[in-house]
Amino acid sequence: MKQYAKETKKLYEESDIDQITLYESKRIASTLCKIHLKNGVEKVYQILRHQGACAIIAFDENFVYLVSQYRHANQKIFLELPAGLIEENESIEKAAQRELQEEIGFKAQKLSLIKTIYTSPGILEEKIHLFLATDLIYQPIFADDTHEIDVVKIKLVDAISQKFISELEDAKTI
């Protein structure tokens, strides 16, 4: 079987790339990339760049903690894992602990990185680092925007049921 992905990656790596920043803010940047392939083909991509985020599976005594919050981009309420942005010069572990404390009021005595995922690799450079948080102790820190979040405590057996999972719409939570 031919390995098209490896050949394509090599073709792109050996190409000239022109990049133009279309928009930049504290949270995101939009970049237009013109790629001049060695075979004469020109490809144009618009890429959204993002500093990354963390999401935390907070598990304690057979319960999982989620948050319910309104997301204006989609104009609906989502049930999600506690999650948030990684601040500049902040480690992914510190970001996970901070978000956990801000969103559900607990600090994890044990925090383990499960996996790093790409949410939409065709257009978005964002990575989300998924953590498992256990041995939780109540130690909230208050952020300005946490009043918009409802904490939802769910039995693990219910959280992993097919019915419950089928109702989730947030990709990082599924």
The DSSP result for 32-48, as a single string, is EEEEE-TTS-EEEEEEE
Lookup: tokens for 37: 């392939």
Q: Which of 50, 19, 15 is nearest to 32 (CA)?
A: 19
Show pLDDT as tens, one digit a residue, over the chain (174 residues).
Answer: 568 898 888 888 888 899 999 999 998 999 999 999 888 899 999 999 999 999 999 999 999 999 999 999 999 999 999 999 999 999 999 999 999 999 999 999 999 999 999 999 999 999 999 999 999 999 998 876 656 899 999 999 999 999 999 999 999 999
| Angstrom distance (rounded) from CA 104 to CA 150 | 8
Q: Are strands 53-60 and 127-138 parallel, antiparallel or unpaired?
A: parallel
Q: Name the class of domain 53-167.
A: alpha beta
Q: 10 Å Cβ neighbour count for 143?
A: 14
**Cα–Cα distance measured from residue 90 to residue 93, given in angstroms and rounded to the nearest whole number:** 8
State the chain's mean pLDDT as an integer. 93
Q: What angle do CA 126, 159, 150 make, to 5 degrees?
A: 70
In the chain, list all ranges with CATH 3.90.79.10.
53-167
Contact 14, 35 (CB under 8 A): no
